[in-house]
Amino acid sequence: MKLLALDVGSSSVKSAILKNGKIAGRIARAGYPTRRQGVRVEVDPRAILKAVRDAIAEVGKEAKTVDAIGLTVMAPSWVAMDHEGEPLTPVITHQDRRSVEIARELEKKVGKQRHLKLAGNRPIPGGISSTTWAWFLKHEPSIMKKADLCGHLNTFLHRQLTHSRVTDPSNASFMGLYSTLDLGGWSDELCDAAGIERHRLPQVIGAEGVGGMIVRSAATKFGLTHGTPMVVGCMDGSAPVLLAGNQPGQLVNVSGSTDVLALCTDRPRPHENLLTRAVGMGKRWLSVSTQAAAGSALDWAHQTFFHELSAGKFYSLVSKIAQDMNDDDAATGVEFENYLAGSRTSLEQPTASFTGLSLATRRDDMLRAILRSLARESASRIKLLAQVNPIRIRRQVLLTGGVQGGLSKLLHRGWPGKWSFREEEEATLRGVAALIL
């Protein structure tokens, strides 16, 4: 079977032809910018559509000959649409923090433990889309009066390409309006708390289900064939889990700008310091712990303290320090709390800080402190996942993402016991095949 795989991420779209689950030919990429203004973090939905069109065009004529189209998307990625499926708002990402006050109100109204039990998560500002939706209802009522449908990027892309109104359980989980722990559909209690009318929500079906067929107008616009089936698709973080077999106990480590540990389970246990969501296929869930700034923390250190070094030289230095680090490195007294990108599980966002600085402190000491912080947090996360989830964790970890090698070894040095790591390149794109094959 020949598939067109689309991976719509936080800064770009990747597309590729998959033949029998393997990437055939090159991977096409088309980027788009993220707008950051104060606490607001947005992407222009029309820029995403253009990137999808450009990435498909770069694949070439083969995109018109595929048997089906598979889809993964970043999430949360909330957007409101009118009756024609045209965007009324920007795409609001998980980094957006405009809805802190709304989040407090929602949690007070529902109750912290009750919200965890229903949605699987606290109402994280931006990170759980009910907070964003409620913010727009309060602050942009004239826009929301025109809203016919709201959802994440898979809903938006289906509305554009197939005219369907669908989403999958993985995306629904991060809407904050879904009964995540039993896959029970949209929750009246959560919708009522946020002031959201259910008829504006998409239909939830399995990520592997056919959401619709490419309509004639979209086929012309995007370089596809009219009538090609397009599966509903899932969150990008689910695809590597599907590639690994979607089995309870499987641990996936996506190590890039953000470092994500996702444990597959058939017995979800929500926790205020973890994210809980459905995989999207079958009765499987993910218990997720995230370092919001991992590779991006190193990029920040490069630009802030070592800007005269090329990227190659800087990351060679990182690898050398990571390989040579030992417990004596703490003797400098410099410590770092790595909240450069805040926290994915906090309503109030913490900020990063150095302590123990003196006139004797060198920039190498600060870089070591950053690396120690990354390793320390990684070890504490694996322990928390094991404590919360009543499941045997498999010791072979699927490892993917853009930051591996020296940093990857550092992040795993404090994990208790013996582990093996199976590196898989382009696991998100390749995982799309599991939605269809």
Q: Express each pLDDT in 293-333 by its tens digit.
A: 888 899 999 999 999 999 999 989 998 888 887 755 556 78
Q: What is 2-232's CATH topology?
A: Nucleotidyltransferase; domain 5 (3.30.420)
Average pLDDT over residues 51-67: 97
From the list 148, 31, 130, the residue with the least C-alpha distance to 86 is: 148
Cα 266 from Cα 245, distance rounded (Å):
13
How far out from the chain centre does Cα 407 lie? Answer: 21
Q: Report residue 43 as tokens.
A: 């992407």
Half-sphere exposure of 29 (CA within 13 A, CB side): 9
Q: Tens of pLDDT along 71-81?
A: 999 999 999 99
Average pLDDT over residues 189-201: 98
Cα 16 from Cα 180, distance rounded (Å):
31
Return left, alpha or beta for 246; rule: phi > 0 is left, psi -120 to 50 is alpha, else beta: left
Q: Report residue 427 as tokens.
A: 């696991």
**Which class in CATH covers the domain with range 245-437?**
alpha beta
Cα 417 from Cα 394, distance rounded (Å):
12
Average pLDDT over residues 11-30: 95
- The pLDDT of residue 331 is 62
Cα 11 from Cα 188, distance rounded (Å):
34
Q: List, by residue range, all CATH 3.30.420.40 domains of the chain.
A: 2-232, 245-437
Q: Find the DSSP H helices in 306-393.
A: 311-324, 363-388
Q: Report residue 116 as tokens.
A: 């965890």
* pLDDT grade for 406, boundaries at 50, 70 and 90: low
* pLDDT grade for 257, boundaries at 50, 70 and 90: confident
Q: Give yes or no for residue 403 having a pLDDT over 60.
A: no
Average pLDDT over residues 166-194: 98
- The pLDDT of residue 329 is 57
With beta carbons less than 8 A apart as the criterion, state whether 303 and 314 touch.
no
- The pLDDT of residue 103 is 97
Average pLDDT over residues 36-49: 96
